[in-house]
Structure 1
Amino acid sequence: MPLLQDPLYVLSVLSFMVILAVYTEKFGFGKKLGAALLVILFTAVVANLGLIPTASNSIALYDGIFTYLAPVGIFYLLLGVSLKSIKKAGAPMIILFLIGSFATTIGIFLAWYLLSPDKLIGEDAKIIAGMLTGTYTGGSANFNAVALAYDFQEKGILYAGTIAVDNVVSTIWIVITIALPGILRKFWKDKKVKTTEKEVIAEEVKGIDFHSLIWLIFLGIACYFISEEINQLLPQIPSIITLSTLAIILAQTSFIRNLQGSHELGLYMVYLFLAVIGAYCEISAVIGLKEIGITLMLFALTAVFLHGIIIIGLGSLFYKDWEMIALTSQANIGGGTTAIALAETFGRKELIVPAILVGSLGNALGTYLGFLVVTLL
């Protein structure tokens, strides 16, 4: 087996990227960037140097991390969350997320009329605009739903190039949203929408013992299985909603609160997920499309940048909480899991549950907005 296709080799590299990010976070510039961003950047560099697979030569390990590790990681993080976090931060996040979804759609339309990508790409540009609307509302599931409806996946190079553009732009936006609150505070003071730490997060006990480990592993596997079975019976209910609900219910019990290490275990899994996001940031695939790649990149960047301006402008009229606005924007552009990583970076644990909720809302809304854009253009 070639080295780049060896899952043990790739997993060891991803794991080392997490270690490198966590240690770098303790020094100099790393303190400002945070481990979540660093693990993406480090892995992106390694992937673009050809040391591990990228999106164009993806391996089953990456799919496994997306399918299993990321959801279970979210489950573990939610085991430390109190229901009061939904009561306090849920409504503001949902309002901001709907504003962000509106901002994405308007951003796509404005970018279309500013850049006219159809002049170079032709009718396929409309489908790409719909795919990007979907993914920048709720995630890759919406991207693929629009693509499959129009058989766009059969357009090999253009389809792969669009995925590469999406991954690169999403990575850039993670960097921007992490830096955004600090930049905005230099011009306008904000007011955090939050509760006290004791209200929203169960008291964390450092370390993990064998008793806690065996229960956490069992609960993660069993609840994931249950959520998938329910999804088979009720496809309209996303499995992540069921998994999150189970975690929140369990989190209210004293037995679960006494288990140690769920937060650390979940955070590690999310960091591995972010490492794969970095590996998918494939610059060479964008360059390979030449003029079309540049046009797609400019189109996507313009749309996302306009999304950012609109959500900051409109969102601040309701809640001038720059971290919440940045996090909600990330839930739109990058999805619920990257939004959770931002909540951890900002130290806003009360926003973890709302991030899950709005991420699922985006999954439901994104495909419809994507088809709407294709129809109207």
Structure 2
Amino acid sequence: METSLISPDNTWALWAFVTGWAAVSIYLEQKYAWASKMSGAIIALIGAMVLANLNVIPLESGVYDAVWDYVVPLAIPLLLFQANIKKIWQESGRMLTIFLLSAIGTVAGTIVSFMLLKDVIPHLDKLAAMMAGSYTGGSVNFAAMASKFEAPGELVSATVVADNAMMAVFFFVLMAIPAISFFRKRYQTPHMEEVEADTSENNGETQAASFWQRKEIALKDIATSVATAFVLVAVSFQLAEFFAGVVPSGEGVNIFYQVLGAVIGDQYLMLTTLTVLAVIAFPNYFGNIRGTQEIGTFLIYLFFVVIGVPASLALVVTTAPLLLVFTLIIVVINLLISLVLGKWFKFNLEEIVLASNANLGGPTTAAAMAIAKGWHKLIVPILLVGTLGYIIGNYIGTGLGLWFQTFM
């Protein structure tokens, strides 16, 4: 295997790259019109993808794991401190509906892809169960289905390679769709119009620069926001771990306990719930903290850089081309069905692309997209709904996997 210019254990150099490229992406987005239209998120993603595949940075590192394990959990509460709690349930109801409609796309895509490729990809019943779970919930469901159906390790690794590459490309496509006139003419886009209206009189500044105007912030704001985020993450993750150990789990367990364990034993669902409850209970405290959106958004940009480091595209082409086709079919059908059903049921374009993102990429990537686009009213709903996808993902994956076994 080729070695990268920056080795995986060169921690300081990799942190310098991740934070530095995030900063460059934000600077370009706020400085240049072309970058503002593309969005800093895409710049962060593409830059990391290119450098990873040119072997400048490694494909795997403990630094990337740290972003997933620590940076993303801290970003979530910071971005929820200023959430409009009054509209959460109203907006989440709409988002839940389009999320479930998008999940139909995942099921249909998995069935079509399986039927087309079951004779040429070994153990596809197991892999299809894994991808159905993952493309409804997330990596948690992927791992659960891989364990449940005892998929061969080398095939699991190859599927991860194909999935990572596909998700990097898919995220780029989803970010681009709202800017394409074909879609804007055919779908309602109230959240995009609100962002554009807020930044219409920007004296020649880009939309991003106008939105992220310089604000007054004190040392106390930084201290309280970061410390509160740490406390919420620590308490939430400890509670989730406790409940996961207390609630009965495993094969043969009553479905009530399975659902209960999936809800209160999930770290991100617990974190989102506790943060929302804390903001409701102490509105003045959270409402008076400045800078939480800025700090949280910068942390999310570190996440954008990391998800732009996919498994090697060359490795996909040489070792898993059919698996790439397999995941591509699922992704395309999910997006098409999401757009068609979303149009039919009169959903906004922003809700549709976020729901598709939450299905295929999980709540974190969907929330990150909402943040990058400035659709702040949709951040909390898509986090809540996307996290609930972890629950139904295992059931969808299990059901399809058992059915697919009858064809093998």
| TM-score between both structures, scaled by the size of structure 2 | 0.83
- Paired residue for 1:134? 133
Indicate the larger mover: 322-331 or 186-195: 186-195
State how far apart, in whole Å, the 2-side matches of 1:189 and 1:362 are.
25
1:71-97 Cα distance to aligned partner (Å, 9 max, x none): 110110001102123133111100000
Q: Does 1:149 align with 2:148?
A: yes
Q: Secondary structure at the match of 2:45?
A: helix
- Paired residue for 1:11? 15
1:52-110 Cα distance to aligned partner (Å, 9 max, x none): 221xxx22222221112101101100011021231331111000001111110111111
TM superposition shift of 1:185 = 3.1
8 Å contact from structure 2 (residues 129, 397) kept in 1: yes
2:328 aligned to 301, 304, 307, which one? 301
TM superposition shift of 1:271 = 1.2
Gaps of at least 5 residues in structure 1 are: 198-203
The 5 Å alignment of 1:24-63 reads 24-26=28-30, 27-54=32-59, 58-63=60-65
8 Å contact from structure 2 (residues 114, 125) kept in 1: no
- Paired residue for 2:314? 284
1:12 alignment partner AA: A
The 5 Å alignment of 1:260-275 reads 260-275=290-305
8 Å contact from structure 1 (residues 171, 281) kept in 2: no
State how far apart, in whole Å, the 2-side matches of 1:31 and 1:109 are.
39
8 Å contact from structure 1 (residues 195, 350) kept in 2: no
The alignment covers a number of residue pairs equal to: 360
State how far apart, in whole Å, the 2-side matches of 1:355 and 1:281 are.
27
* Structure-2 change in CA distance of 1:316 and 1:71 (3 Å): same
1:337 alignment partner AA: T
Q: Secondary structure at the match of 1:4?
A: coil
8 Å contact from structure 2 (residues 168, 310) kept in 1: no
8 Å contact from structure 1 (residues 100, 311) kept in 2: yes
8 Å contact from structure 2 (residues 9, 62) kept in 1: no
8 Å contact from structure 1 (residues 80, 257) kept in 2: yes
State how far apart, in whole Å, the 1-side matches of 2:299 and 2:77 are.
10
TM superposition shift of 1:189 = 4.1
State how far apart, in whole Å, the 2-side matches of 1:260 and 1:186 are.
34
The 5 Å alignment of 1:59-98 reads 59-98=61-100
State how far apart, in whole Å, the 2-side matches of 1:340 and 1:112 are.
30
8 Å contact from structure 2 (residues 269, 388) kept in 1: no
- Paired residue for 1:201? none
State how far apart, in whole Å, the 1-side matches of 2:386 and 2:214 are.
28
Q: Does 1:185 align with 2:194?
A: no
The 5 Å alignment of 1:322-337 reads 322-337=349-364
TM superposition shift of 1:255 = 1.8
8 Å contact from structure 1 (residues 193, 319) kept in 2: no
8 Å contact from structure 1 (residues 328, 339) kept in 2: yes
2:391 aligned to 364, 369, 372, which one? 364
1:111 aligned to 103, 110, 113, which one? 113
8 Å contact from structure 2 (residues 161, 311) kept in 1: yes
1:182-214 Cα distance to aligned partner (Å, 9 max, x none): 3343541425379989xxxxxx98243211111
State how far apart, in whole Å, the 2-side matches of 1:89 and 1:195 are.
17
8 Å contact from structure 1 (residues 205, 261) kept in 2: no
8 Å contact from structure 2 (residues 134, 142) kept in 1: yes
8 Å contact from structure 1 (residues 134, 146) kept in 2: yes
The 5 Å alignment of 1:203-282 reads 206-235=215-244, 236=261, 237=264, 238-252=266-280, 253-282=283-312
State how far apart, in whole Å, the 2-side matches of 1:186 and 1:100 are.
19
TM superposition shift of 1:33 = 1.6
8 Å contact from structure 1 (residues 194, 350) kept in 2: no
TM superposition shift of 1:227 = 0.6
* Structure-2 change in CA distance of 1:281 and 1:37 (3 Å): farther
| TM-score between both structures, scaled by the size of structure 1 | 0.89
State how far apart, in whole Å, the 2-side matches of 1:134 and 1:119 are.
22
Q: Does 1:160 align with 2:162?
A: no
* Structure-2 change in CA distance of 1:213 and 1:187 (3 Å): closer
State how far apart, in whole Å, the 2-side matches of 1:363 and 1:269 are.
23
1:38 alignment partner AA: I
Q: Secondary structure at the match of 1:234?
A: helix
State how far apart, in whole Å, the 2-side matches of 1:351 and 1:125 are.
36
8 Å contact from structure 2 (residues 189, 350) kept in 1: no
